[in-house]
Structure 1
Amino acid sequence: MKLQRHGTIACLALTAVLGLSACGSDNNDSAGTSASASASADCAKGTLNAQGSSAQKNAMAEWIKAYQQKCAGSTINYEPTGSGAGIQAFIAGTADFAGSDSALKEEEKPQADAKCVGGQALNLPMVIGPVAVVYNVGGVDNLQLTPATLAKIFAGQVTKWDDAAIKADNPDAKLPSTAIQAVHRSDESGTTDNFTKYLSKTAAADWTFGNNKAWKAPGGVGAAKSDGVAGKVKSTEGTISYVEWSYAENSGLKKAKIQNGAGEFTELTAESAGKTIAGAKVEGQGDDLKMSIDYNTKEAGAYPIVLVTYEIVCSKGTPADKLPLVKGLLGHAASAEGQADLVELGYAPLPDSVRTKVEAAVKNLS
């Protein structure tokens, strides 16, 4: 994976920005890192079935592997069905916890709470994933876009790559007259919810469709899950889309520079994403740790499109035969070691001020 080549650099950058206490020293020693990462795990036996966010699939796979290596007798299955499907499975009782790229919405919360006998459904941030704007346009290698231009493209107002709006953002580029094919998620997705939230917060005059897990704008073409989006862009000339950073890197896709609130066109790196993450605030109450991101950040060098992906879990009411394993796995995920493992996978670890709150919330599950 391309990310492995600069994992150490990314780790150092995030250490500087977020004050992390631990980082993997060498990608070639991944087995040792996993063993170290799971050293603090509280082992439990049994089987868990979870599903949801495909953006956090790679992070969850790493945590599950590390936990199961440490803890014999545990079987943990995570299906990347998409955030919307994951929440519905949690509500229906077919998922022991759900992964979601958005916190529970007001209309979902009562249904999710009803599953938690004597408690409530919690939003626990576990993964921070920068969202890359990816494109496939021959001869264009350093595309840069303002929020307004990006909104116009996905709203169907800008339909050619040599449109005046794109030319204004890229005065030195040789832009072809190729038709733009904007690709969006066909399934309900927290990545879509976050991307459309970004557009609605930064380009309200051009993006009038609000934010939602389901794509609401007309036109464009849909692709299922993060893998499908990345594959569609890689194989199709003239495409543009949004996908979590690790998928962009693993597929070798070109990534656009995005203008932040300070007026800078910023490349997506661990350091630039970390600058936006550092300004995120917890707005939930108690152990509910829903977060708010400033998409209009004026922090110099900040890349503004980042998402927080959550685990949706019961504060109380998880079946007794499942609870120890839920706490063991999520406790490992929230540990400093578990978060440090994310760097080389294309994610940004939680700021330690947030991570410790998540760790405490997991310990309080009952």
Structure 2
Amino acid sequence: MKITRLSSIAALGAVAALTLAGCASNEAPAGNDGGTAPSASGEPTTTVSGTIEATGASSQGSAQEAWVAEFQTANPEANVLYESTGSGVGRDNFKAGASNFIGSDRAFKIEEIEEGGFGSCATDEIVEVPNYISPVAVAFNLPGVDSLNMDADTIAKIFAGEITSWDDPAIAALNEGVELPATTITPVHRSDASGTQETFQSYLAATAPDVWTWEPEDTWPLQSGEGADGTSGVVDAIAAGEGYIGFADASRTSELGQVAVQNGDEFISYSADAAAALVEASPLEEGRSDHDLAFAVDPAAAPAGSYPIALVSYLIGCVEYEDPEVASLVKAYFQFVTSEEGQAIGAEAAGAAPLSTGLIEKAAAAIDAIVTE
């Protein structure tokens, strides 16, 4: 089995905490002989055993905690260790052979797949399935103001450093009757490589191309603003700084002020349903295999009523592993997370938009490509 550690000393504490949580969750329920364990719905299932390690998207953090707990309850001899490192670190770890699977807020690009070199896999074939759909909130900290309307140009100018004060005429014109202070705006971005960051930049580039002229990437293209590590770091920075504004997975921003984003003639507040409407209208990318389900989301083509900044996060694993036990455990975990039951758990834990029935069926077919013998 190819398992090494690339994490920093600071991250080891997170792994230890997950390990302890995993041990607690893995205690078999009373009366369970370890042969067959109930699923969360109470139906008997064939259990799997062993340990798999994963790193990746911090946006999935809350949902992953819930998925792991339920999966390990149903499989008392299984340990799933998921560490929220950020998508970029997760993808690096997967290529280096340090993670059995990863969560990522973007799929590997076609050219990255063609380059190969996936050290976690016995071959260079990978499985990528969407498992977590969520709005990316534009959140702020402005005492006395809970919500503001903004169009794409205004948001882009704020993060490009062209609008620097909360009482700027561009903001005031969209928020008649709101008393806006002359407080300095401090935009917060991710300091780590992040698929959430690339999703946000893709929105800016698609909807405000005259302002946001940078190519969308998972790293931040500007030196201005303030960087923070991970979803939690961004949310903490906004919460601690008056006048701060940033973008993060919506499940983590409920205590902050929220931007209602313009789509057509409406200003749309984020919701799981509104994010799902954007994704449901998006095609899968062409030129990929049947077990590589990557969405081509175009915020500029967002249908009426949808929230135009939606994150599609993925589970990424190998078609073939060197260790059959790892393959069986990864496959079983992917099947659980993308099932109707698993998606309901993710929605309850993190406010994610559940995959549609059709997409659940496509994900099941893609996961079936994982070789377990």
TM-score (norm 1): 0.86
SS at 2:314's partner residue? strand
Q: Is the 8 A contact 1:112 1:120 kept in 2?
A: no
Aligned to 2:126: 121
- The equivalences for 1:183-262 within 5 A come to 183-249=188-254, 252-260=255-263, 262=264
Q: Distance in 1 between matches of 2:45 and 2:223?
A: 47
Match for residue 109 of structure 2 among 105, 110, 114: 105
Q: Is the 8 A contact 2:127 2:367 kept in 1?
A: no
Q: Distance in 2 between matches of 1:158 and 1:316?
A: 50
Q: Is the 8 A contact 1:130 1:305 kept in 2?
A: yes
Q: Is the 8 A contact 1:124 1:288 kept in 2?
A: yes
Match for residue 91 of structure 2 among 68, 75, 87: 87
Q: Distance in 1 between matches of 2:206 and 2:156?
A: 11
Q: Is the 8 A contact 1:37 1:66 kept in 2?
A: no
SS at 1:161's partner residue? coil
Name the larger-Rg structure: 2
Report the Cα offset of residue 74 of structure 1.
0.7
**1:63-106 alpha-carbon deviations (Å, 9 max, x no partner):** 11101001111111000000000011111111001111011124
Aligned to 2:274: 272
SS at 1:282's partner residue? coil
Match for residue 334 of structure 1 among 332, 338, 345: 338
Residues 39 and 50 (structure 1 numbering): CA distance in 2 closer, same or farther, change over 3 Å? farther
Q: Is the 8 A contact 1:37 1:332 kept in 2?
A: no
Q: Distance in 2 between matches of 1:331 and 1:272?
A: 26
Report the Cα offset of residue 171 of structure 1.
2.5
Q: Distance in 1 between matches of 2:44 and 2:93?
A: 29
Percent of matched pairs sharing the same residue: 36
Report the Cα offset of residue 303 of structure 1.
1.0
Q: Distance in 2 between matches of 1:244 and 1:38?
A: 31
**Is 1:137 the equivalent of 2:142?**
yes
**1:257-286 alpha-carbon deviations (Å, 9 max, x no partner):** 0001x2311111233223212212222431
Report the Cα offset of residue 61 of structure 1.
1.2
Q: Distance in 2 between matches of 1:85 and 1:38?
A: 36
**Is 1:55 the equivalent of 2:59?**
yes
Q: Distance in 1 between matches of 2:131 and 2:103?
A: 9
Q: Is the 8 A contact 2:295 2:312 kept in 1?
A: yes
Amino acid at match of 1:305: I
Q: Is the 8 A contact 2:116 2:124 kept in 1?
A: no
**Is 1:302 the equivalent of 2:297?**
no
Structure 1, gaps ≥5 residues long: 1-30
SS at 1:99's partner residue? strand
Q: Distance in 2 between matches of 1:322 and 1:349?
A: 27
Report the Cα offset of residue 117 of structure 1.
2.9
Q: Is the 8 A contact 1:60 1:78 kept in 2?
A: yes
SS at 2:328's partner residue? helix
- The equivalences for 1:346-357 within 5 A come to 346-357=351-362
**Is 1:359 the equivalent of 2:342?**
no
Residues 276 and 38 (structure 1 numbering): CA distance in 2 closer, same or farther, change over 3 Å? farther
Report the Cα offset of residue 139 of structure 1.
2.4
Q: Is the 8 A contact 1:45 1:74 kept in 2?
A: yes
Q: How many positions carry a matched residue from both structures?
A: 331
Once the two structures are overlaid, the 10-residue window that deviates more, 158-167 or 118-127, is: 118-127
Q: CA RMSD in A?
A: 1.9
Report the Cα offset of residue 217 of structure 1.
2.1
SS at 1:193's partner residue? helix
Report the Cα offset of residue 227 of structure 1.
0.7
Q: Is the 8 A contact 1:183 1:241 kept in 2?
A: yes
Q: Distance in 2 between matches of 1:93 and 1:38?
A: 36
Q: Distance in 2 between matches of 1:347 and 1:87?
A: 22
SS at 2:40's partner residue? helix
**Is 1:166 the equivalent of 2:168?**
no
Structure scoring higher RCO (CA < 8 A, sep ≥ 6) equals 1
Report the Cα offset of residue 318 of structure 1.
4.9
SS at 2:253's partner residue? helix
Residues 119 and 233 (structure 1 numbering): CA distance in 2 closer, same or farther, change over 3 Å? same
**1:30-77 alpha-carbon deviations (Å, 9 max, x no partner):** x9xx94358476521100000000001111111111010011111110
